[in-house]
Amino acid sequence: MQLNTHKDSAVIEQVADWLVLLQSDDVTELDIKRLNLWLAQNKAHRDAWQQANHFLTNIEHLPCSVNSQTMLTLNQQGRRRVVKLLSALFAIPTTGYLTVQSGLHHSVIADHQTAIGESKTVTLNDGSVIELNTQTKITTTFNQVQRSLNLLAGEIFITTGKKHGELLPPFRVITDHGVIEALGTAFNVKATEQGIEVEVSEHAVLVTTEHAELMVKAGESLKFSRHMLQPKVNKLQLSAMWRKGLFVAASLPLFQLIEELGRYHHRLVNIDNSIRNIQVSGTFDIHDFTGTLALLCESLAIDVVYRTKWWLAIVPKAPHS
Amino acid sequence: MICITVVAMSIVQQNFDGIYLDNRSWLASWLCKKVGCAELAADISQDTFIRLLTNKNNARAIENKPRALLTHIAKGLVIDHWRRKDVEQAYLSAISHASEHEVVGPEHKYIVIETLMRLDKALSQLPTLTRKIFLLAQLDGYKYKDIAQQFDIAEITVKRHMKKAFIACLMLD
């Protein structure tokens, strides 16, 4: 019996409290909000929660027929005890909105990721569809207690699944800056260095951070981070055009446009300071970096100098040309 | 403190060849007597030395009483081995009654055995009542209030047992 000493016993105790609460009949909507808040608080909480769910998912995966009362007679048989497990499944939650399922409710822990310039669509077994943009990494935990997705990096568009006549557990996107709970929705989530950007296309999501709780409805967007005290909901201009292979810039500084397009390509780009902030508007093909640069050269007073194929500089247009 | 550990670690690593050569043969024959199978004894003997290398707490003990430490590690591994056999046996007999579609592939079987081993380890350190309550709730799907009724205890007590059992499961390495 080795106890893992570097596990934080205080956090584990809290996880145990949450599991017991979720399993009891007393769980309320307020508790779920508190859980979201707790998860939003720090990474140690999220990691411990994820680990606990991994273990519970494995128990849930035990075949129905692994059956027996003998688990309880183990100790009577001394050292060579026989392990058998009772027939019923690990029916963890019977919360307000979860009904107990008698059948096997398969849960899946999975990792999905995309390389630079790659995009990919994943359908989860509850019918939810996740579209991954370039350089994205997610893990998912789906069981009877939760449908949860960790966004570790990048950008995803989620269309949550619905099963006819069945109540599914809440769908959460867990990020380093807060938790986004889907309220029957389609929405886009992007992780940047500064924080998280969420754009809602259908219905609404509930965003919980350490300092705030906000509803974001269809046609709205929100940028938030764990440090922000009062993030503000904005009108959504154009949602998730990356799904069509496009990026739309509306009066965007040149360097930001290049940064944005750079997410899809292995390129090192230097931009001359005098032109960094030229305002650019237009619709650009995210997969055609060279073409986009040629287009920019035509319409703006800039030139592109290729140092190597991968390394280039954007400079002001030479006066005589 | 940390420095001492690091130095001690390297003593084990530096002397590892010596320790291995000095102790390999008696350990294998000791194990062979215990488990009655030369091949298995050789496997467990290898695992014993791997454990020795990977656990830094062993440094001092190996200096003073190498035999005692190696026997201690080997004993634990033998127990684990038999335990795993028991678990596997129980699993096989359980699924022998199963309908065909429930029989799982080798990869899933590995996860099932590992899960059962873990569960067994975690629960074996708990009092009988806690273990019973946990199994009823987690494997039979009983509600807390039903369990409370069955044992004639308060629901809050059931929750306390559940919390203890969850902690035991989560603390396990």
Regarding whether B94 and B56 lie in a shared domain, the answer is yes
Give strand pairing partners of A113: A137
Contact of B92 with chain A, judged by CB distance below 8 Å, is answered with no
Are A46 and A184 in contact by the 8 Å Cβ rule? The answer is no
> Looking at CA atoms only, how far is residue B131 from chain A in angstroms?
8
Domain spans of chain A? Answer: 9-235, 245-316
Contact of B156 with chain A, judged by CB distance below 8 Å, is answered with no
In 10 A of CB B132, how many CB atoms? 19
Rounded (10°) angle between helices B16-35 and B2-14? 70
For residues B103 and A65, give the distance between their C-alpha atoms in angstroms, rounded to a whole number: 9
For residues B4 and A302, give the distance between their C-alpha atoms in angstroms, rounded to a whole number: 62
For residues A194 and A175, give the distance between their C-alpha atoms in angstroms, rounded to a whole number: 12
Q: Per-residue pLDDT tens for B148-165? A: 998 899 999 999 999 999
Per-residue pLDDT of chain A (321 residues; tens, 9 = 90+): 334 445 788 999 999 998 898 888 777 778 877 888 888 888 888 888 888 877 777 776 676 655 434 355 444 443 332 222 222 222 223 222 222 222 222 333 447 888 888 899 998 888 899 999 998 888 888 776 678 898 988 999 999 987 666 677 888 998 888 899 998 789 999 998 889 999 998 899 999 988 888 999 988 999 999 888 778 888 877 768 898 888 888 889 999 999 889 888 877 788 888 899 999 988 888 988 888 898 899 888 898 887 676 678 888 887 764
* Residue in A closest to B114 by C-alpha: A58
pLDDT, residue A206, reads 92
**CA A56 distance to own-chain centroid:** 21
> Looking at CA atoms only, how far is residue B51 from chain A in angstroms?
13
**Chain B residues touching A31 at Cβ < 8 A:** none
Task: Tell me phi and psi for residue A100, to 5 degrees.
Answer: -70, 130
CATH 2.60.120.1440 is the classification of domain A9-235 = yes
Give strand pairing partners of A253: A279
Specify the DSSP class assigned to residue A3: B
For residues A199 and A151, give the distance between their C-alpha atoms in angstroms, rounded to a whole number: 15
Cβ <8 Å between A66 and B112: yes
Task: Tell me which residues of chain A, numbers 221 to 250, contact chain B at a CB-CB cutoff of 8 Å.
Answer: none
For residues B152 and B133, give the distance between their C-alpha atoms in angstroms, rounded to a whole number: 12
Contact of B64 with chain A, judged by CB distance below 8 Å, is answered with no
Cβ <8 Å between A1 and B166: no
Regarding whether B121 and B95 lie in a shared domain, the answer is no
Q: Which two tokens stand for residue A43?
A: 């990474």
Contact of A55 with chain B, judged by CB distance below 8 Å, is answered with yes
**Contacting residues for B82 by C-beta, under 8 A, at least 6 apart:** A79, A80
Are A170 and A117 in contact by the 8 Å Cβ rule? The answer is no
Cβ <8 Å between A1 and B98: no
Quickly count helices (H) and strands (E) in chain B: 9, 0
The residue type of A307 is: R
Quickly count helices (H) and strands (E) in chain A: 5, 17
**Chain A residues touching B138 at Cβ < 8 A:** 59, 90-92
Q: What is the DSSP string of A186-233?
A: EEEEEE-SS-EEEEEEEEEEEEE-SS-EEEEETTEEEEE-TT-SS--E
Q: Which two tokens stand for residue A74?
A: 């183990």
For residues A175 and A39, give the distance between their C-alpha atoms in angstroms, rounded to a whole number: 9
* CA triple A192-A40-A26, angle to 5 deg: 150
Q: Per-residue pLDDT tens for B96-133? A: 666 655 566 777 778 888 888 888 888 888 888 898 88
For residues A36 and A213, give the distance between their C-alpha atoms in angstroms, rounded to a whole number: 10
Domain boundaries, position B89: 1-99
What torsion do the CA atoms of A85, A89, A91, A92 make, to the nearest 10 degrees? Answer: 50
As a whole number of Å, the CA-based R_g of chain A is 24
Cβ <8 Å between A82 and B120: no
Regarding whether B25 and B74 lie in a shared domain, the answer is yes
* Residue in A closest to B164 by C-alpha: A16
Regarding whether B71 and B22 lie in a shared domain, the answer is yes
Q: Per-residue pLDDT tens for B23-80? A: 888 888 888 887 778 888 888 888 888 888 777 666 666 667 778 888 888 888 888 8
* CA triple A11-B135-A84, angle to 5 deg: 120
Interface pTM, i.e. ipTM: 0.73
Regarding whether B92 and B8 lie in a shared domain, the answer is yes
Regarding whether B14 and B58 lie in a shared domain, the answer is yes
Cβ <8 Å between A19 and B166: yes
Task: Tell me which residues of chain A, numbers 12 to 31, contact chain B at a CB-CB cutoff of 8 Å.
Answer: 12-13, 15-17, 19-20, 23-25
Residue B110, SS3 per DSSP: helix
- Which of residues B53, B81, B99 is at a domain's end? B99
Contact of B132 with chain A, judged by CB distance below 8 Å, is answered with yes
Provide the domain count of chain B: 2
* CA triple B167-B168-B169, angle to 5 deg: 90
Q: Nearest by CB to A4, which of B103, B135, B173? A: B173
Q: Nearest by CB to B90, which of A70, A90, A100? A: A70
Best residue in A83, A86, A98, A107 to probe B by mutation, most B CBs within 10 Å?
A83
Cβ <8 Å between A75 and B128: yes
Cβ <8 Å between A91 and B128: no
Which of A145, A104, A109 is CA-nearest to residue A19? A145
Pick the CATH number of A245-316 from 3.40.1030.10, 3.55.50.30, 3.40.309.10, 3.30.420.40: 3.55.50.30
pLDDT, residue A98, reads 26
Regarding whether B68 and B8 lie in a shared domain, the answer is yes
Q: Nearest by CB to A16, which of B86, B118, B170? A: B170
The residue type of B35 is: V
Task: Tell me phi and psi for residue A17, to 5 degrees.
Answer: -60, -45
Regarding whether B76 and B39 lie in a shared domain, the answer is yes
Cβ <8 Å between B172 and A4: yes
Which of A253, A297, A258 is CA-nearest to residue A275? A253
Residue carrying the six token digits 């990721």? A113
Which of A104, A99, A106 is CA-nearest to residue A88? A104
* Residue in A closest to B55 by C-alpha: A2
Regarding whether B75 and B138 lie in a shared domain, the answer is no
